[in-house]
Structure 1
Amino acid sequence: MYDIVIKNGKIISGCGNPWYKADIGIIGDTISHIGNISEKDANEIVDAEDLIVCPGFIDAHSHGDLRILGEPTASEKLMQGVTTEINGQCGIGIAPIKNEDKENWRNYIYGIFGEYPEIHFNWNTLEQYLKEVEKKQPSINAGYLVTFGAARLMVMGFDSREPNDDEIKKIVQIIDESMKSGAFGMSLGMIYVPTVFATNRELIETCKIVAENNGVVGIHMRNEGNDLINSVQEVINLTKETGVSFQISHLKAGGKNNWHKSIDKVIKMIELAREDGFDITFDQYPYDSCSTMLRQVLPPWVLDGGNEKMKARISDKDIRVKVNRQINGESPVDGLTSKAGWDNYANLGGWDGILITSVKSKNSQKCLGKTIKQLSDEMNKEPIDVVCDLLIKEDGAVGMAVYMMCEDDVKTILKHELGMVGTDGLYGGKPHPRLYGTFPKILGKYVRQENLISLTTAIRKITSYPAQRYGIRDRGMILQGMKADITIFDENKIIDNSTFNDPFHYPDGIKYVLVNGKIEVKNNKIVNKGNGNVLLKK
């Protein structure tokens, strides 16, 4: 007797094969049988007539580290068919962490993770954090990368200095221990404090220990705009030096000067590296705007030492003048230089292309959904003063979106076989629509409406491919013996509905979502929850 039988659906296995007709029998959390199954052998029947039955979607790049503790239902993922997310991305995590760093770090990461005051950060190691997630009984599965930034913060704080031998050993040890606790690898955020200050030696030694543990390194590269090619070369060099597998996060080319040319070049670089035996792949979100923290508008030297030192610097009018000159291309300024390859968002998107997406205080809510240029005009202030005043007022806790990519490049990346998909969704305020809409947009816009890629190719990109990449052996495919993470959708109706004006809008077309053999979404409504697991590297 099967607990659940899914009948009459068109099964897309996730392996890239065409759909086929069969019934799926589920016992407990496992796909027990695929074939013809009598209704009398089922305790519950799901009729999938005229619907696609496929593996649950895997969010290859997620920032749900804090969200899954504060809102473990993770409805923004569940309602778009996601059954597993990979957290701990971009070198920015919430574990491991020292007690004395918790308040400062929490302010720093607000623009990424949002604010959940009821979560008290009552952990220090990644292992302790994962146990906290298990206690919350999340509705989706979650796997983790240990973040280099958190490990360096544990040892060296926010300082930009070069570590000594003992400090490097301690950072490597933290990465090693975290992987042995179940992390699938490590992530680097080359634009974020403190990773932006890392020496090449630190990167090499930590990548080596990840390779020894057979993990993958996800990297938000040092530059995604004018220095994109050199940033990809840095990844290739690290791969050659250490032998580690690299996952380039949210591949893009920012800035009009880089559209229609840089992406083809860097993809060719990656292809050639793979021909030489170096394992490099990438992911993307299907939008022409990015999203991160507003502080990233500032050069890295302004961020040195943490939040309080940043606020002290940008309170100085003379410093603001120097920062503005550097943003306008007049670097170096009085000996103040930034790390090579700094992503100058104000240059790449323009002040009229930078949108405020999250703030912390009620008094600043009026800024949400407005560009820096709009706020500058309204307040009769220079754009750099708008940015600095807002960061000071909000204690650095401001999120932004930047319109800096083009649709043609988005399509070029999506068509390539080496690419997979992640939401890169951020929390707090009025978030980027990718948080609620990424996967339905792929299937609705780029598959059905534009025929850019086939349905089977799209399903592979969002199921078996990320499972393979992160070493999740029992999910991502509809096969006997696999865990029963299953998404059932109407291929003729699935579409995203989230916008910047109304980001909290669920998609259409998701009929059922099963997590570990339990129905959590039925007819576009959450009917059950709490069936997800923390996934550990084996």
Structure 2
Amino acid sequence: MTLEDTDAPASEGQIAAMRVLLEEALQAGVLGLSTGLAYPVARHAPTDEVVALSQTLAAFPGALYITHMRDERDRVEESVGETIAIGRRAGVPVVISHHKCIGRHNYGRSAKTLSMIDSALRHQDIAMDVYPYEASSTVLLPELTRHAERILVIDSAAHPEFNGLELSKVAEKMGCDQEEAARRLSPARGIYFQMSPEDINRIMQHPRTMIGSDGIPGPQAHPRLWGTFPRVLGRYVREDGVLPLEEAIRKMTSLPAQIFGFARRGRLQEGFHADLVAFDAETVLDLADYDTPDRPSAGIEHVFVNGVAVLANGAVTGARGGRFVARGEA
């Protein structure tokens, strides 16, 4: 398969080859199949192609179909419907990656998408994650500039001198519109301000929603890489009351462990791996912002990974207790 092949649906032979590779990966313990149907390399894959691949998952208990849906903008409801149908037809659990409704004219549509998910939950297993920011971050593509209120440019390889500037200002300097500016800055990433607080709150409150950062490491990044979980605890729990503290912690710990099949993790229980965070509920808060995205958060006192202290009294110890975790591994 070549890069050009992504401009069209896969052939029967290509699907068969992908299924072989997927089965090898599943036998090695991967969590499942993840798709990015919103992106150029995958957007030409029809539903039937994704179903054919996802059916491979059914032979591996606990394997998931995880998707960055085909459209989170004007066709968000249609995309949720497609996602539900893929899980139903393949007979596998589904996780929607960082569910959102993009664009001011789509604000509020999470009421409908969550209703669709609730209806489907009567018959199949569905979950999702959300991050606590009104701005997303991904590759800077011309077609993605149309729905955002504003866009910050980061990591432009072609024009690093414009990193950190708003795309509208860059377009002015270049004497073109924002779509053309995005084209000239490529390859690059952008931070897109394009979601409503009401949708974020509504999605976060759903019982099948996990908290996820979707953080992308790099020399410049979205503050969610550093601030996501303290932000939920400080702003969404303590300040705004969007979630009770216990529910927020469940969405960060035992719920992801349950959904992804991480055995003996996610709970404070004898015989479980000692992955622990000690924080001050009265002071925990994200300090990272779009100007200084790497500022450490306040109120995190101790962190243990597999029983190893990696943060003690607010200071990094240099010890490393992490390990790879495979599907179903105890």
1:219 is aligned to 67
1:290 is aligned to 136
Q: Is the 8 A contact 1:158 1:194 kept in 2?
A: no
Of 114, 131, 153, the match for 1:356: 153
Return the offset for 1:427: 2.4
TM-score, reference length from structure 2: 0.95
| Alpha-carbon distance between aligned partners in 2 of 1:347 and 1:380, rounded to the nearest angstrom | 18
1:255 is aligned to 103
| Alpha-carbon distance between aligned partners in 2 of 1:378 and 1:193, rounded to the nearest angstrom | 28
2:170 is aligned to 375
1:232 is aligned to 80
Return the offset for 1:157: 3.4
Q: Is the 8 A contact 1:368 1:429 kept in 2?
A: no
1:347 is aligned to 146
| Alpha-carbon distance between aligned partners in 1 of 2:324 and 2:49, rounded to the nearest angstrom | 29
Q: Is the 8 A contact 1:158 1:193 kept in 2?
A: no
Once the two structures are superposed, the pairs formed by residues 135-284 of structure 1 within 5 Å of their partners are 155-159=1-5, 160-214=7-61, 215-260=63-108, 262-275=109-122, 277-284=123-130
| Alpha-carbon distance between aligned partners in 2 of 1:284 and 1:535, rounded to the nearest angstrom | 22
Write the letter of the residue equivalent to 1:191. Answer: A
Return the offset for 1:452: 1.6
How far does the alpha carbon of each residue in 1:16-64 deviate from its partner, in whole angstroms, 9 at most, with x for none?
A: xxxxxxxxxxxxxxxxxxxxxxxxxxxxxxxxxxxxxxxxxxxxxxxxx
List gaps (5 residues or longer) in structure 1. Answer: 1-154, 299-344
Secondary structure in 1 matching 2:136: strand
Secondary structure in 2 matching 1:169: helix
Return the offset for 1:382: 2.9
Q: Is the 8 A contact 1:358 1:368 kept in 2?
A: yes
Q: Is the 8 A contact 1:421 1:461 kept in 2?
A: yes
Q: Is the 8 A contact 1:211 1:245 kept in 2?
A: no
Write the letter of the residue equivalent to 2:138. Answer: T
The answer to whether structure 1 residue 531 and structure 2 residue 328 are counterparts is no
| Alpha-carbon distance between aligned partners in 1 of 2:180 and 2:200, rounded to the nearest angstrom | 33
Return the offset for 1:523: 1.6
Q: CA RMSD in A?
A: 1.4
Write the letter of the residue equivalent to 1:379. Answer: M
| Alpha-carbon distance between aligned partners in 2 of 1:386 and 1:492, rounded to the nearest angstrom | 44
Return the offset for 1:168: 1.1
Return the offset for 1:365: 3.0
| Alpha-carbon distance between aligned partners in 2 of 1:199 and 1:222, rounded to the nearest angstrom | 10
Return the offset for 1:527: 0.6
Return the offset for 1:423: 0.5
Q: Is the 8 A contact 1:513 1:521 kept in 2?
A: yes
- Specify the structure having the higher radius of gyration (Cα): 1
Of 194, 211, 232, the match for 1:404: 194
| Alpha-carbon distance between aligned partners in 2 of 1:493 and 1:417, rounded to the nearest angstrom | 26
| Alpha-carbon distance between aligned partners in 1 of 2:135 and 2:177, rounded to the nearest angstrom | 23
Higher relative contact order (CA 8 A, sep 6+): 1
Write the letter of the residue equivalent to 2:111. Answer: D
Write the letter of the residue equivalent to 1:206. Answer: L
| Alpha-carbon distance between aligned partners in 1 of 2:96 and 2:177, rounded to the nearest angstrom | 35
Write the letter of the residue equivalent to 1:346. Answer: T
List gaps (5 residues or longer) in structure 2. Answer: none
| Alpha-carbon distance between aligned partners in 1 of 2:41 and 2:69, rounded to the nearest angstrom | 14
Secondary structure in 1 matching 2:43: helix
How far does the alpha carbon of each residue in 1:240-287 deviate from its partner, in whole angstroms, 9 at most, with x for none?
A: 211111000111111111112x10000000000011x11111100000
Return the offset for 1:503: 0.5
| Alpha-carbon distance between aligned partners in 1 of 2:83 and 2:185, rounded to the nearest angstrom | 34
Structure 1 consecutive aligned stretches of length 4 or more whose deviation exceeds 4 Å = none
| Alpha-carbon distance between aligned partners in 2 of 1:273 and 1:412, rounded to the nearest angstrom | 18
Write the letter of the residue equivalent to 2:74. Answer: N
Write the letter of the residue equivalent to 2:163. Answer: L
Change (3 A) 1:495 1:193: same
| Alpha-carbon distance between aligned partners in 1 of 2:175 and 2:157, rounded to the nearest angstrom | 23
| Alpha-carbon distance between aligned partners in 1 of 2:121 and 2:2, rounded to the nearest angstrom | 35
| Alpha-carbon distance between aligned partners in 1 of 2:65 and 2:320, rounded to the nearest angstrom | 29
The answer to whether structure 1 residue 384 and structure 2 residue 232 are counterparts is no
Once the two structures are superposed, the pairs formed by residues 16-55 of structure 1 within 5 Å of their partners are none
Change (3 A) 1:158 1:536: farther
2:225 is aligned to 435
Return the offset for 1:380: 2.7
Secondary structure in 2 matching 1:401: strand
Q: Is the 8 A contact 2:157 2:185 kept in 1?
A: no
2:267 is aligned to 477
Number of equivalent positions: 326
Once the two structures are superposed, the pairs formed by residues 93-112 of structure 1 within 5 Å of their partners are none
Q: Is the 8 A contact 1:293 1:400 kept in 2?
A: yes
Return the offset for 1:158: 4.2
Of 446, 463, 468, the match for 2:253: 463
How far does the alpha carbon of each residue in 1:216-240 deviate from its partner, in whole angstroms, 9 at most, with x for none?
A: 1110001111110000000111122
Q: Is the 8 A contact 2:47 2:82 kept in 1?
A: no
| Alpha-carbon distance between aligned partners in 2 of 1:515 and 1:158, rounded to the nearest angstrom | 43
Of 493, 500, 514, the match for 2:304: 514
Write the letter of the residue equivalent to 1:278. Answer: Q
Secondary structure in 2 matching 1:233: helix
Q: Is the 8 A contact 1:156 1:167 kept in 2?
A: no
Secondary structure in 2 matching 1:196: coil
1:148 is aligned to none
Write the letter of the residue equivalent to 1:381. Answer: C
The answer to whether structure 1 residue 491 and structure 2 residue 281 are counterparts is yes
Secondary structure in 2 matching 1:197: coil
How far does the alpha carbon of each residue in 1:327-363 deviate from its partner, in whole angstroms, 9 at most, with x for none?
A: xxxxxxxxxxxxxxxxxx222115xx121122236xx
| Alpha-carbon distance between aligned partners in 2 of 1:447 and 1:207, rounded to the nearest angstrom | 37
Return the offset for 1:479: 0.5
